[in-house]
A and B are shown apart, each in its own frame.
Chain A
Amino acid sequence: MDQLVELNNETEETVYHFQEGPEGTVIEIDDFSLWYGDKQALFNNRIDIQKGLVTALIGPSGCGKSTLLRSLNRMNDLIEGLRTGGRICLNSQNIFDKNIDVISLRKRMGMVFQKPNPFPMSIAENVTYPLKVDGVRDKNVLAETVERTLKGAALWDEVKDRLKENALGLSGGQQQRLCIARAIAAEPDVLLMDEPCSALDPLATIKIEDLINELRGKFTIVIVTHNMQQAARVSDNTAFMYLGKIIEYGKTQTVFTKPGSQKTQDYVTGRFG
């Protein structure tokens, strides 16, 4: 049965009805496949992520959302035995090209993880870390970045008196917003978020969602989520993935109300997942 579905998957065409952003495409995922050793995890995916919009990746557990997201900034490079096929282009440059500098690629892609992972240093040092590893030493620039990004991450008012304190002393929600601040500190082109709210309580979740809505337009955001309401609330476009393949990529409202694929329909109405 599984085998059958996979076979179907490879041949099934993706349904497209996505909303185009004012500035066009920023990331172009073109016929992208990925193998963990012998096991194929992603199958010929093709979508264009629109600049300045929020794109949500939804789908049942294990369908490859994280894998796709981590391919965008090549975090998967750390895994041994990984192979890819096809292309992913950032501003029309293939990121798997031989002469691409992975480090500068990652600097253009901020990333927020499922579990908050602040570094064991002070709040201010956490935020300035991306600049420091980039060689920025100017105190004024760093101080200015701390204030700007913490305000940008809606954390400034809560921590402005304790910037020198250890970041591990913050609450979980605060820690996650600190991680968002850290991700936007180097002014990346794209912000990647892998289930940023799954470890948080509902109140902290709402704060992060508000924050995403505020960041819309300033950054291109790709967010993986398990929570369909959340996808509906924060995203402009939604991609539904199933068994390593993007089944449907379209305007969020349409995906949730009148999906173009039966599988999407089944998933968003809660028939499986």
Chain B
Amino acid sequence: MNLLKKPVKSGESFKNTSMAARGEPALWTMGGTLALGVLMIIAFLILVVWNGIITFYPGGIEQIILNDGSMIAGEIRRSESYRPSDDILKTVNTEWKEKIRRNKGVAERTLFKTGNYDLYNEDFKWVDEFNIRERTNPENIYYFERVEWGPFIGFIEKVELGGRTDIRPENLADRLESEHEKAVERRQKIGVIEKKKISDINHSLEEERLELKRVELAEGVDSDPYREAKQAYQEKTETLMAKYKKLQDEAENLKQENSQFKLTLKEIGGQKKTLLLSEIVRFYAANQLSLLDKLGVYFSRWLEFLTAEPREANTEGGVMPAIFGTLTMTLLLVMAVAPFGVVAALYLREYAKQGHLVSVVRISVNNLAGVPSIVYGVFGLGFFAYTIGGSIDTLFYPEKLPNPTFGTGGLLWASLTLALLTVPVVIVATEEALAAVPQSLREGSLACGASKWQTIKNIVIPKALPGILTGLILAMARGAGEVAPLMLVGVVKMAPELPFDGYFPFVHLERSFMHLGFHIFDVGFQSRNAEAGKPMVFVTTLLLITLVAVMNAVSIHIRNRLNRRFSAGHF
């Protein structure tokens, strides 16, 4: 029987087949759904990436004269249409009134970043288009990023460098730049002295105090060892205090020197403000920048963002501690979840007698993945921090009590909490990987005289490793993006210290830490000014996504290399 009566174009031979039988409807729905999903992801990525990328690019500064003669200056943020209320419309002149009426009552307004929070009590200002009399871009207006109070936008009124005010105008820019560099260096030196060196001494003082307390707890106050210890303690404290004094003097001198380099600035309304050169992070004449200058500012901002500590309630400065905290926590999480999940899955799949009990366990594990993550946070706080951590404190750190050491949220407990949260993912993936190892390989190994454990170790686990790693990658991605439970078990807005430092034992897993995910939440929704935090939200989101993507890419690369090793062949 010939299906094709005459030569046909491809597809025509199905002319009489029903649509459903050909599969096209299914194809279109499935493809369409996929395309929709991909589209949403792409839109989200574009939003984050675009906003994240442009945030640090310096804009020009516009000077506006309003109808009432007052002036403002600032960077344009964005424009929008809105419907002015009748009260506002009353103040508008007739020409504009007519325009707005023709526009069905809709007017334009623009958001300016005016800075000068210390003078204005606000960072941003909406300006109505009908309220603008004149717009200019003044040549000599400057944008100052300050250590405190956010940016300052205004003109340089007076310069005082090393006590001298008679600087020739043609040298001014160069001198300002070089002196600024030196002043910043001095500021950083003061920071090192105050943070590092003085905290060294505080650390030693604390050590001595704890040592004394230890002797007291062991021997009692009325004993010779205690009196001796007390004597030694007093001597040591004295030498330490002397050192402390010296460092303080050193810092004081530097501050003294810094106070001789200052600028008097004038904002657009004429108010003056004196600023130390060392309090300025970065400054530029916004309307005179060439493209190269702009890129310079752009990249120096990125550098600061990636390597510095946050300032101004996290809305400015960098996120280095948060990057560090996120990476360390994810690493610890994987280190904790990998053995735990893999061992549990091995027992379930290889050793346990497959029956009702194992099925119940399996279902429970799967359901664990559906428990809201905040519940894990509560559990982590109650079990890890208070119960286990509290016991550790009474056993090993009695001299520090009532201050908790492990008895409160910290890096270790956060990692363990997230490990608990992600362990179902690892167990399920590992079980699947183990089930996919052919029985014939197990039999081959056993027939060679290998024990069950040798078979699992030498044959089953290596063969299942790519699948196990896939599970770990999923767990890692989930854990790195989780925020809610962390707020309960150790993440803070501003961690005083990194979990690593120069003091024994160098790694301090009990310390609280910062996290990019929480940073986004904090900056975006907890800061004094949502508008000020917005750019930071996008940049930090971009960073977090990049970080997770990079971690995933690295682990996928490792997995694929293993894959090649274990599944070559064609039989």
Contact = CB atoms under 8 A, between A and B. Distances in A.
Interface stretch (A15-23, A34-42, A100-108, A214-222): A100-108
A166 B444 contact: no
Given A166-B569, A168-B571, A169-B568, A133 B443 contact: no
Given A120-B567, A168-B567, A107 B449 contact: yes
Interface in B456-488: 458-459, 462-463
Contacts of B570: 168-169
B11 to A, nearest CB: 40
Most buried by B among A117, A118, A186: A117
Given A133-B458, A166-B568, A168-B569, 12 more contacts: A75-B447, A78-B446, A80-B353, A103-B451, A106-B446, A107-B448, A115-B440, A119-B458, A120-B463, A121-B462, A169-B568, A179-B444
B443 A75 contact: yes
A224 to B, nearest CB: 14
Given A78-B446, A186-B448, A119 B568 contact: no
Contacts of B444: 111, 113, 117-119, 179, 182
Given A117-B438, A119-B441, A73 B569 contact: no
B445 to A, nearest CB: 7
Nearest to B442: A78
A134 interface: yes
Contact of B446 (A75, A104, A169, A183): A75
Interface string A159-186: 0000000111111100100010011001
A169 B565 CA distance: 11
A172 B462 contact: no
Contact of B447 (A106, A115, A166): A106
A170 to B, nearest CB: 8
A59 interface: no
A86 interface: no
B449 A106 contact: yes
Contacts of A133: 445, 448-451, 454, 458
A168 B571 CA distance: 7
A54 B364 CA distance: 53
A130 B449 contact: yes
A73 B463 CA distance: 25
B82 interface: no
B449 A134 contact: yes
A156 interface: no
Given A117-B443, A120-B462, A129-B458, A186 B569 contact: no
Nearest to B571: A172
A116 interface: yes
B566 interface: yes
A169 B570 CA distance: 7
Contact of B443 (A80, A113, A116): A113
A52 interface: no
Contacts of A169: 568-570
A259 interface: no
Most buried by B among A116, A121, A170, A172: A121
Contact of A103 (B443, B449, B459, B463): B449
B569 A104 contact: no
Interface in B540-570: 565-570
B413 to A, nearest CB: 39
28 contacts: A75-B443, A75-B446, A80-B353, A106-B446, A107-B449, A110-B448, A111-B447, A113-B443, A113-B444, A113-B447, A115-B440, A117-B440, A117-B441, A118-B444, A119-B441, A119-B444, A119-B459, A120-B463, A120-B567, A130-B449, A130-B450, A133-B445, A133-B451, A133-B458, A166-B565, A168-B567, A169-B569, A182-B444
Contacts of B443: 75, 78, 113, 117
Contact of B566 (A120, A132, A172): A120
Nearest to A114: B440
Contacts of B441: 117, 119-120
Contacts of A113: 440, 443-444, 447
Contacts of A73: 447
Interface string B9-34: 00000000000000000000000000
Contacts of A171: 571
A137 to B, nearest CB: 14
The 4 closest A-B pairs by CB, nearest first: A168-B569, A107-B449, A111-B447, A130-B448
Contacts of A107: 448-449
A130 B445 CA distance: 8
Nearest to B454: A133
Contacts of A120: 441, 459, 462-463, 565-567
B571 to A, nearest CB: 5
B151 to A, nearest CB: 61
B420 to A, nearest CB: 33
A190 B454 CA distance: 23
A172 B569 CA distance: 10
Contacts of A168: 567-571
A182 B458 CA distance: 15
A186 B449 contact: yes
A175 B571 contact: yes
A5 B230 CA distance: 99
B227 to A, nearest CB: 61
Interface in B182-197: none
B448 A106 contact: yes
A103 B449 CA distance: 5
A64 B570 CA distance: 31
A167 B567 CA distance: 10
A10 B463 CA distance: 45
A116 B444 CA distance: 9
Contacts of A115: 440
A73 to B, nearest CB: 6
Contacts of A80: 353
